[in-house]
């Protein structure tokens, strides 16, 4: 067991969090987690099943005297975003997450922590196990004898890269008509709605040719950005490594720089933190090109000093074997397209203060043998606005000579302020903590949107402890909020009638 969780409460939640942190579970590689969940349910004597996609459903009978209470489903996703610092050696398909405790936060060593949504998985395992765990665990008497009606625990797969698990739930998989999603990231807030989204991707035929003679190969790098979730942190004004790199490339292009390759970002739902490009610069223009890039570096650092003070833009000579460059006309189209692409908040909600209504993220760019690929994502809680920003991005790509393709996307979740489970949750929170919880919608895709579409008539809310920096190596969970979240959840289960 990791020393990082020693003494933390609730002990059973942290025990399971440490256990699942040792199980590799990047999106689309959740097989070991599926087996672990089924094995744990079997050990506890609980009914469990898995569908062909890897989703796991566990059922736990009601505590004595509460057999006739309505059934509730507690839901979270088992996969995690595999992001790491560039200098960190870590294989997310093989290596465990290294937990690091710093005061009141738990982090990972150079990688994403996986609290999104590992804390939901651990919490569900703790509730599954309470009163059934036949081993020495220092549980409070209250935790040993939880009061609840019949429970279902739904663990979905591939939430982060396609919402595949939720999208393929069969109509009869759940009995429950009330669901609590445990994938929100601000203790004291209850979420009742979310945005829908879609990815818009572009491909350019690179038309590589031999690099001009008398040129110096160089690499331009952008690093040190915070990045973050492209929904939750899109309103923070943080730098986008791809957009910043493009500006540096435009500066170098004024002095004849030719593009050989460009790479940046690796997840559609993360603001890119790092990017780099290999260029060939005429020897006669080397000095002035370097000076132009470094002048831009100072400009970019000044622009982002308040939100991304560690931004670092560099250019240095390098040795390369393959002296190829993108055809000049294609290079111009690519750089102009990236420059034209919008990134960030497009519109704030007029109805819910502080809620981002529509946004777009320039997410990923990569060079392949014969092409350059770019991925973007658009979100909105208003279907017509989502369609409009998708059309805008696609039009820019087409004007820039790229072949455009879009994903099917995912639906939003329309708030229901008359929800029965919301009423119970609000009154429970106030009785526990003496204040009203904030009822919110979120500018991110929650599985509730899809679950509500797949399983009609589902009454849902979403909440969780406080997380920061999800989808980046800066991801952290605030330890003190986990106990508050746990107590809140148990009290809701007790108060449901």
Q: Write the pLDDT tens digit of every residue in 135-178.
A: 434 555 545 568 999 999 999 999 998 889 999 999 889 999 99
Q: What is the pLDDT of residue 253?
A: 98
3-state secondary structure 37-69: HHHHHHHHCCEEEECCCCCEEEEECCCCCCCCC
Contact at 8 Å (CB) between 223 and 272?
A: no
Q: What is the C-alpha separation between 278 and 316, in angstroms, rounded? A: 10
The 3-state DSSP class for residue 384 equals: helix
Q: Would you list the domain boundaries of the chain?
A: 3-195+412-495, 197-406
| Residue carrying structure tokens 């409460």 | 9
Tokens read off for 233: 């942190």
pTM, whole model, 2 decimals? 0.75
Q: What is the pLDDT of residue 137?
A: 47
CA atoms within 13 A on the CB side of 275: 32
Q: What is the pLDDT of residue 266?
A: 85
Q: Which residues have CB under 8 Å from 467's CB, separation 6+?
A: 115, 116, 119, 185, 475, 476, 477, 478
Q: Which residues have CB under 8 Å from 462's CB, separation 6+?
A: 180, 181, 182, 183, 184, 190, 191, 192, 194, 442, 446, 448
Closest C-alpha among 180, 83, 227, 160 to residue 445: 160
Segment holding 274, helix H or strand E = none
Would you identify the CATH topology of the domain 3-195+412-495?
Answer: Aminopeptidase (3.40.630)
* Whether residue 79 lies in the annotated active site: yes
Count of H helices and E strands in the chain?
A: 12, 25
CATH number 3.40.50.720 given to 197-406: no
Per the document, the length of the chain is 497
Tokens read off for 440: 């919110």
* Whether residue 159 lies in the annotated active site: yes
Q: What is the pLDDT of residue 140?
A: 54
Longest CA pairwise span in the chain (Å): 85
Q: Of 30, 79, 233, 468, which one is the catalytic site residue?
A: 79
Q: Of 30, 83, 159, 274, which one is the catalytic site residue?
A: 159
Q: What is the C-alpha separation between 439 and 441, in angstroms, rounded? A: 7
Q: What is the pLDDT of residue 162?
A: 80
Q: What is the pLDDT of residue 132?
A: 72
The residue ranges of the chain whose pLDDT is under 50 are 134-137, 142
């Amino acid at each position: 067991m990791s020393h990082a969780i020693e003494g933390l409460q609730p002990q059973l939640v942290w025990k399971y969090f440490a256990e699942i942190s040792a199980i590799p579970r990047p999106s689309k590689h959740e097989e070991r987690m599926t087996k672990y969940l089924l094995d744990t349910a079997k050990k506890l004597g609980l009914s469990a099943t898995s569908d062909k996609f890897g989703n796991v459903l566990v059922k736990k009978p009601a505590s004595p005297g509460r057999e006739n209470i309505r059934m509730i489903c507690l839901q979270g996703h088992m996969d995690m975003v595999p992001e790491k610092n560039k200098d960190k050696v870590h294989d997310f398909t093989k290596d465990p997450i290294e937990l690091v405790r710093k005061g009141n936060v738990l982090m990972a060593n150079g990688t994403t922590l996986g609290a999104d949504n590992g804390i939901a998985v651990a919490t569900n395992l703790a509730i599954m196990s309470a009163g059934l765990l036949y081993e020495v665990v220092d549980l409070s008497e209250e935790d040993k004898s939880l009061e609840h009606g019949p429970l279902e625990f739904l663990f979905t797969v591939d939430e982060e890269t396609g919402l595949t698990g939720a999208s393929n739930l069969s109509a009869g998989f759940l009995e429950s008509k009330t669901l609590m999603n445990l994938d929100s990231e601000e203790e004291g807030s209850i979420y009742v709605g979310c945005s829908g989204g879609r990815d818009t991707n572009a491909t350019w035929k690179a038309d590589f040719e031999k690099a001009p003679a008398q040129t110096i190969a160089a690499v331009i790098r952008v690093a040190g950005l915070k990045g973050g979730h492209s929904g939750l942190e899109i309103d923070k004004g943080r730098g986008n490594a791809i957009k910043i790199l493009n500006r540096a490339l435009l500066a170098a292009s004024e002095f004849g720089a030719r593009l050989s390759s460009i790479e940046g970002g690796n997840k559609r739902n993360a603001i890119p933190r790092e990017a780099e490009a290999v260029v060939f610069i005429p020897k006669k223009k080397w000095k002035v090109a370097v000076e132009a890039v470094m002048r831009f570096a100072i400009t970019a650092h000044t622009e982002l000093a308040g939100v991304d003070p560690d931004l670092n833009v560099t250019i240095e000579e390098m040795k390369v074997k393959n002296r190829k460059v993108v055809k000049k006309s294609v290079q111009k189209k690519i750089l102009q397209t990236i420059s034209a692409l919008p990134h960030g908040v497009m519109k704030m909600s007029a109805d819910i203060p502080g809620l981002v209504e529509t946004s777009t993220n320039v997410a990923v760019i990569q060079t392949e043998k014969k092409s350059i690929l770019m991925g973007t994502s658009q979100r909105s809680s208003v279907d017509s606005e989502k369609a409009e920003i998708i059309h805008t991005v696609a039009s820019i790509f087409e004007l820039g000579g790229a072949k455009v393709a879009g994903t099917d996307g995912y639906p939003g979740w329309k708030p229901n302020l008359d929800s029965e489970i919301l009423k119970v949750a609000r009154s429970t929170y106030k009785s526990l903590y003496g204040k009203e919880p904030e009822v919110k919608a979120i500018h991110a895709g929650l599985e509730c949107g899809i679950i509500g579409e797949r399983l009609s008539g589902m009454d849902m809310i979403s909440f969780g402890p406080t997380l920061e920096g999800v989808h980046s190596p800066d991801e952290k969970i605030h330890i003190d909020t986990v106990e508050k979240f746990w107590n809140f959840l148990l009290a809701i289960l007790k108060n449901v009638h």
